[in-house]
Structure 1
């Protein structure tokens, strides 16, 4: 590989990591419209432990992503937020040889503390993400989440996860 190709690969790696972390910041602040915008051009949903979609994921539908999040996540206080911290770690990035597509697998631990719930981990899982570079900017093309362990979701979820 030449130096230019290596630099482009490193830039791609950092760009997709930044998108992964942008999600954590946005969802924890309760910015659901901005979260939905991240996945406007993506497949979005749950998956099994191998990253295979479970059920019917949302396909490139910003409004449907917003509705899915809003109908699931309980908000607290003013300004409203889920009172969570999404901690994303162990991010493994694979950049395609053309440096315009990438995939990642990462761990997520969700912590939550509310007036009625002491600070604690409420969920652990993995994200299976895909990305593409369009006109020099990176975007999600997939966000599938595998839930490995669940704790007390009473202050987080509006419905039971199965």
Structure 2
């Protein structure tokens, strides 16, 4: 979903081997999605330089609805991604949105900033269970295209 992202299946690769693989392909940043009880359970962000540094936040997940699970017509998903900038959100959503914007180098946009232009919008909100929800929408048609990520909590002190 995010531009310039390369997916590498970890398999039985250890942490060091995985980071060496990232260095081989020229990655400066790594996102690790750990599985717990057979489903995605945690997201960790790393920067690779002279040292490997974990970047906050570490996100614990309640669930993910994958893109293939959305019942949508076959559409071309634009490679341009913006993070929705909105008013009145709680501090935790604002902090996570800012961290994602910085880590993934994604610009922020208000919902009506890009009239007529086709792009993908990353939207942050609270759901009915008081969990943070990250959703991706095809704009300007406002069609949710996935994935939808439900975050139970974020750890900032790593």
What range describes the TM-score normalised by the shorter chain of this pair?
Answer: under 0.3
Tell me the TM-score normalised to structure 2 length.
0.26
Q: Please identify which structure carries the higher helix content.
A: 1
Tell me the TM-score normalised to structure 1 length.
0.26
